[in-house]
Amino acid sequence: MQIADDILYIGVNDHQLDLFEGQFIVPNGMAYNSYVILDDKIAVMDSVEAHFGDEWIGKLEEALGGRAPDYLVVQHMEPDHSANITTFMDRYPEATIIGTVGAFNMMQNYFGTKFEGRSRVVKDGETLDLGTHTLTFITAPLVHWPEVMFTYDAAAKVLFSADAFGKFGALDVDEDWDCEARRYYFGIVGKFGASVQKALAKVEQLDVQTICSLHGPVLSENLEHYIGQYKTWSAYDVETKGIVIAYTSVYGHTKEAVEYLAQVLGEKGCERVVVTDLARDDQAEAAEDAFRHGILVLATTTYNGGYFPIMHNFVQHLVDHAFQKRTVAFLENGTWMPAAAKGMRADMETCAEIEFAEHTATVMGSLDDDSRAQIEALADELVAKL
């Protein structure tokens, strides 16, 4: 793939992977992106995951056409991008490796060396002259690791953005960017919204016409949309008007109550209700929906004096990823002593700027006239908040 006249894509597609980072389902695989800038001096932008070293080196050799690279720019030290650093440095003994001080500290941890004598530590705003291309290094700590930097090529107006603007999915699969980029962002980067905002402020000062992420497609059209999405996500603003109901159900009674709530919400004018069964659906996608919409209903059963473990895991995921600026409501089930709503609220109170619904619907075993009335009252309140 040609990014510009003298910038080539040399990344790989991984269809062997089932779980990214050991937890995120990736039915369409994953891309590990790397690029090479062929100028008077040659710079390679990052490496790839360990299992694809030979394929990556083969693509690099073909792109080099007999030349030798001068630099390896390391923007991010997560192993899916850094695993072949030593392979590269062994193969090209005259090359210099470039990264932040944090990146070299991590190299010591992973590889037992900081490549002394063959390294250059760069700071925010420092440049590297390749000939026609001048690279400017932009530190972007905690997007989403502390050593991260972006690289801007002023000649080609290309931003090499590390993991920012990345998505799940290999490049040989055609799929919507927003959905898998959103799931990727909130699952992996989402806790660090303030850091993303700081990085975006630096990017907005540049004339960027192409974004080259370490995951996902090269973005060269409609950049306002992609940057706009990142602004919305990193500010934790509501992207889509609607209500998400995330639930677990043991014997079907809580599910029945959730289905009744969804029905009543629709009847009362809510045009978008997303229902997800946390025991069976992808929890990362459920979290994506929770961050995307403005209202979240958590529905589950009392369990061991608290609330159902799968729901507890989901709530903890939201808390860990800085869930905020949302309305949260509860629907609980408890045959003899309901405690789920109290437990969920206590955990969600650790999140910033959460407005809790005044009404909580309680089902004592199975739906009856009283619990239906409570659900209808909750639906009235939530529709009014829309």
pLDDT at res. 72: 98
**pLDDT tops 90 at residue 249:** yes
pLDDT (mean) for 38-58:
97
Collapsing DSSP to helix, strand or coil, 99 comes out as strand
Report pLDDT digits (tens) over 92-134.
999 999 999 999 999 999 999 999 999 999 999 999 999 999 9
Report pLDDT digits (tens) over 349-376.
999 999 999 999 999 999 999 999 999 9
CB neighbour list of residue 117: distance below 8 Å, 6 or more residues apart:
none
Q: What is the CATH number of domain 240-385?
A: 3.40.50.360
Tell me which residue has tokens 């905020």: 324
pLDDT interval class at 5 (50, 70, 90): confident
pLDDT (mean) for 160-178:
95
Looking at residue 187, the DSSP 8-state letter turns out to be I
Tell me the pLDDT of the chain averaged across its residues.
96
pLDDT interval class at 228 (50, 70, 90): very high
Which fold does the domain 2-234 belong to in CATH? Metallo-beta-lactamase; Chain A (3.60.15)
pLDDT at res. 153: 97
Yes or no: say if 341 and 297 are a contact pair by the CB < 8 Å rule.
no
pLDDT (mean) for 227-249:
97
Q: What is the dihedral of CA 153, 154, 159, 162, to 10 degrees?
A: 40
pLDDT at res. 185: 96
Provide the whole-model pTM. Answer: 0.93
pLDDT interval class at 165 (50, 70, 90): very high
pLDDT at res. 288: 96
What the block records as the tokens of 270 is: 């809510």
**pLDDT tops 90 at residue 250:** yes
pLDDT (mean) for 310-320:
96
* Rounded-to-integer distance, Cα 190 and Cα 139, Å: 18
**pLDDT tops 90 at residue 344:** yes
Yes or no: say if 60 and 44 are a contact pair by the CB < 8 Å rule.
yes
pLDDT interval class at 320 (50, 70, 90): very high
Instruction: Report CA torsion sign: 350, 354, 359, 365.
Output: negative
**pLDDT tops 90 at residue 4:** no
Tell me which residue has tokens 């990362």: 284
Q: How does 292-307 read in b/e, with b if 16+ C-beta sit within 10 Å?
A: bbbbbbbbbbbbeebb
Tell me which residue has tokens 């946390």: 278
* Rounded-to-integer distance, Cα 252 and Cα 363, Å: 12
pLDDT interval class at 328 (50, 70, 90): very high
User: What are the residue boundaries of the structural domains of the chain, listed by start?
Assistant: 2-234, 240-385
**pLDDT tops 90 at residue 1:** no
pLDDT interval class at 273 (50, 70, 90): very high
pLDDT interval class at 341 (50, 70, 90): very high
For residue 176, count CB atoms less than 10 angstroms from its CB and return exposed for 0-12, middle for 13-18, buried for 19 or more.
exposed
